[in-house]
Amino acid sequence: MNDSERNKPQGPVQGVWHASNVARRAYPGNNVVYSGGHATYCVWTRPMAVYAPSQEKTFFVFGDADNSPAISSYDHRSGALAPVVVLGSNDNMDAHKNPHLLIDEGGYLYVFFGCHNTPVYLTKSLRPYDISGWTTPAVVTDKVSYPQPWQLREGEVTVFYRRGTTHNAVESLIRSHDGGRTWDEPVDIVTPPPQNGVYAVTIADTGPYPRRLQMAWSLTRGDWWERYHLFYAYSDDGGDTWRRGDGTPYEGPITEPTSEMLYESEVPDRGVWLQDIQMDALGNPYILFIDGNTLTYECHWKLAERSTGEWRIHEVATSDHMYDVGVVLPLAPEDLRVWGPTSPSQPHEDGGEIEEWQSRDGGVTWRNTKHITSGSQYSHNHVKAVFGPARGDFRVFWTYGDSKSPPATRDVALYYYGEESDKPVRMVLRYAE
């Protein structure tokens, strides 16, 4: 597909505004459960940003105002943002269809998009580290949600995804050995009980092949608020076999009775909302999640970590909505940080003011060390970490917009930030000509 077929007329770029269209058990007075600026929605849409060391650039994807998958890059040498290229189209303004990004060992960029229990599309850059030309989007497989792509073995792309409907689904993987042209048959990893679903997040290391892949998930049944427990597994062989945190093997596929449960939450009117999974330099996992009251929307941000050889759960912060989304960042052995909307700007709407929480003792205790944003009229949300050896001037990015439904404005902006920044930067983006 040539550039003129993909690119939009030159002009300012904004993100997608999206609402859940679900009113059941919405916070009293709200019309829907969640809504707002969703260019970087949702937790399971990952990776959305990847750092390329050889180019000194961070490539990132998002959903634009038309809900189309879009890509740009940030040059760490000049501070310039590349003109935005549109890679395809999504129907029905459903931000669950936002794009996911992979950069393979040769520098080719893969963008997966367009799926919410529908076909997933892949488009691939024609040249390494170059966003100006792309293959025509092609279907990878059907009935897919949240495709999370990684390169775990040389010459092989592996995509982890949910297969099936929200409350009757399994977590699966699919592999390509020829750069995304053809795909093997899916392999099931986690198989919940019938009429249950799975929400999983994954993270891969960046060392020699085969690379370790770590996965955390919760299960769901019934309605949207019935999400329970936190589970974990990892693989050191590209997803062929899986182990618990202590190294004991699973007999696959993994079922609920055999799963390693890190946090039990089967309490009426409470549920688990995953936020992020990351790993430190030693490969230890850090899992950020919310234990939320689905009647009052009181939320406790918690961290599960295994840096001492045993799983520990720590209280981090509180907020007022289950769809407040942040990240955990293991910057150094004695420097753990959480960046997320833990202070409301629009009370009991998803998102808020982005705050920094820091731990100097491995996650046991936390202090609110910085108000990254303040005085905002609308809401910041859906903070996404840059994968790979990210740089301190652009370590995360997120979306800003009106979280009320209907909104006063559908204007949606994107910000980036890092620990070396004085303050977050609002992106000024334009479409490629």
Provide the pLDDT for residue 10. 60
| pTM for the full predicted model | 0.97
- The whole-number pLDDT of residue 4 equals 38
Half-sphere exposure in the Cβ direction for 429 (13 Å, CA): 28
The confidence score (pLDDT) of residue 252 equals 83
pLDDT for the residue 367 = 99
The dihedral sign for the CA sequence 360, 362, 364, 368: positive
Question: In this predicted structure, what is the pLDDT of residue 433?
Answer: 86
What is the structure's pLDDT at 47?
99
Which pLDDT score, from 0 to 100, does residue 8 have? 55
Predicted local confidence at residue 9, as pLDDT: 52
Domains of the chain (ranges; CATH) run 3-426 (2.130.10.10)
Residue 26, pLDDT score: 97
Residue-wise pLDDT tens for the chain (433 aa)? Answer: 444 345 555 678 999 999 998 999 999 999 999 999 999 999 999 999 999 999 999 999 999 999 999 999 999 999 999 999 999 999 889 999 999 999 999 999 999 999 999 999 999 999 999 999 999 999 999 999 999 999 999 999 999 999 998 788 999 999 999 999 999 999 999 999 998 999 999 999 999 999 999 999 999 988 899 999 999 999 999 999 999 999 999 998 999 999 999 999 978 899 999 999 999 999 999 999 999 999 999 999 999 999 999 999 999 999 999 999 999 999 999 999 999 999 999 999 999 999 999 999 999 999 999 999 999 999 999 999 999 999 999 999 999 999 999 999 999 999 999 999 999 999 999 999 8
Neighbours of 409 (CB within 10 A): 11
